[in-house]
Structure 1
Amino acid sequence: MKKLFIQLIENNPSEATVKLVYKCLYNEIIMLNMPPGSKMNLSKISNELNVSGTTVRDAAMMLLKDELVIMQSNQGFFVSNLNIKELRDIICARKIIEPDAAKLLCEKITNEQIEIFHNLLTLMDNAVNKGDYSEYKKLDEAFHRTIINFCGNESIILMYNSIVDTMKRYALFAAAKAYKKDAAYINTSFRQHYNIVKSLENSLIDNIGILIKNHIDNDERAINLHI
């Protein structure tokens, strides 16, 4: 956490300290470095980041507005637990947004863009072989974000950006459980990404939407099993 905080300071020298602490804690929660349901030790955070306790508390109050933490009387702040309704809402949104984005991309994808997807597949394959689920999920996120960004529709990009951080938290939690308990899950996920790239490469517009939906269904099953 300290390393990230230093990077935030270097990249945003004029930004208020409380906002930088907020961004740091936000990332820690989304990336599950602060697990769902865990108590936030404000004193420890204050010492690690070398900021005042008041600053950390103010940052925690900002996270409270994001519903990433809850505050319990006389007990302090706790990281919010994962919520099944929120999960279902996100999955539903993905099934609406991502297939259409992929179809738009399929109509106009360039050779340079195809090469970027193949490079991502190579990195994902390496992560699979190493059993590095954390790295794989980062690449998985990059893969889907690349589809969205390349589709060229600003409204779709805005909609996706509004759910991507919350989506990441659920996906990382499920992946950490699923990959350890079900080796077939990560292999299935990789094959699905490979088939998506092949459909993009060959402009199979009718096929791409089905593949994306099936892939999201696979993620949904894994998340439902482990949350």
Structure 2
Amino acid sequence: MYKFQSLKDHVYDYIADQILKGNLLPNEKINENKICQELNISRTPVREALIQLSSEDVLENVPRKGFMLRSLNSKEAAELYEVVGVLDGYAAVLACPNLTEKILKDMDFYINSMDLAITSENYEMYYKQQEIFHQLYLFECGNSTLIDTLVKLKNKFMTKHYDISKMEDAKSVLYETNNEHKEILRLFREQKTAELNTYIRDIHWEVAKSKTEVTI
């Protein structure tokens, strides 16, 4: 079903896209006037989107400086991985009995799309595809509070993928991560909820991975 997108949502998506493309960098002031001009809209929805992103800790509202893109330090990233792993594993368990064959085939489609994105070194596309992959089962968990919490937590990783292209082993790391997506899909198909929960929590969101620039 089509969901009406407000001007604030439109601005939110625009800013998120600019972050993913690397056009907005950590600790760099957000130019509100430029956004207004580029989207041909008033200042109000821009401010609303900035305030929402600030509430999600993607941006920081610095007194006398305005909104700036935050960067995750190693401690914050590790803590996020630990919490997201627990919640994502739980969401997968709740979603498991609700996944239709169509959803499972869609998950397989995005896994294949990620492999193509890695091969072509289109890391921005990889990020978007993996986000959809996880959303496919997250949105079937039946717990709106859990969905909202995970979406907000994962949004904090927007800046984390910037330096993927600078990693010497970027492709091998991402191929390995996508192999984990394949294992997650296998466990979903076989309805192995206990193994699924453990795998997502302890392997896919392993805290040690928070030190890389890869978003999983």
- Which residue of structure 1 aligns with residue 184 of structure 2? 196
Q: Of 198, 204, 207, which aligns to 1:215? A: 204
Q: Which has a greater percent of helix?
A: 1
Letter in 2 for 1:71: V
Residues 170 and 90 of structure 1, relative CA distance in 2, 3 Å threshold? farther
Residues 86 and 119 of structure 1, relative CA distance in 2, 3 Å threshold? same
CA distance in 2, matches of 1:93, 1:154: 17
**Structural mapping, 1:141-220, within 5 Å:** 141-167=131-157, 169-173=158-162, 175-178=164-167, 181-213=169-201, 214-217=203-206, 220=207
Kept after mapping to 2: 8 A contact 1:105/1:200 = no
| Partner SS state of residue 140, structure 2 | helix
Residues 83 and 70 of structure 1, relative CA distance in 2, 3 Å threshold? farther
| Partner SS state of residue 37, structure 1 | coil
Question: Once the 2 structures are TM-superposed, how far is the Cα of residue 48 of structure 1 from its aligned partner?
Answer: 3.3
Question: Once the 2 structures are TM-superposed, how far is the Cα of residue 102 of structure 1 from its aligned partner?
Answer: 1.7
Question: Once the 2 structures are TM-superposed, how far is the Cα of residue 105 of structure 1 from its aligned partner?
Answer: 2.9
Question: Once the 2 structures are TM-superposed, how far is the Cα of residue 47 of structure 1 from its aligned partner?
Answer: 4.1
Residues 170 and 147 of structure 1, relative CA distance in 2, 3 Å threshold? farther
| Partner SS state of residue 191, structure 2 | coil
Kept after mapping to 2: 8 A contact 1:69/1:77 = yes
Question: Once the 2 structures are TM-superposed, how far is the Cα of residue 166 of structure 1 from its aligned partner?
Answer: 1.9
* TM-score, normalising length: structure 1: 0.71
Q: Which has the larger radius of gyration?
A: 1
Question: Once the 2 structures are TM-superposed, how far is the Cα of residue 141 of structure 1 from its aligned partner?
Answer: 0.9
Aligned-residue Cα RMSD (Å) equals 3.4
- Which residue of structure 2 aligns with residue 224 of structure 1? 211
Q: Of 99, 108, 113, which aligns to 1:118? A: 108
- Which string of whole-angstrom CA distances, capped at 9 and with x for unpartnered residues, describes residues 77-120 of structure 1? 53333344443332222121111222233345332222121122
CA distance in 1, matches of 2:46, 2:92: 42
Letter in 2 for 1:124: M
| Partner SS state of residue 150, structure 1 | coil
Letter in 2 for 1:140: Q
- Runs of 4+, deviation exceeding 6 Å: none
- Which string of whole-angstrom CA distances, capped at 9 and with x for unpartnered residues, describes residues 191-227 of structure 1? 111111111112222321232120111xx54442449
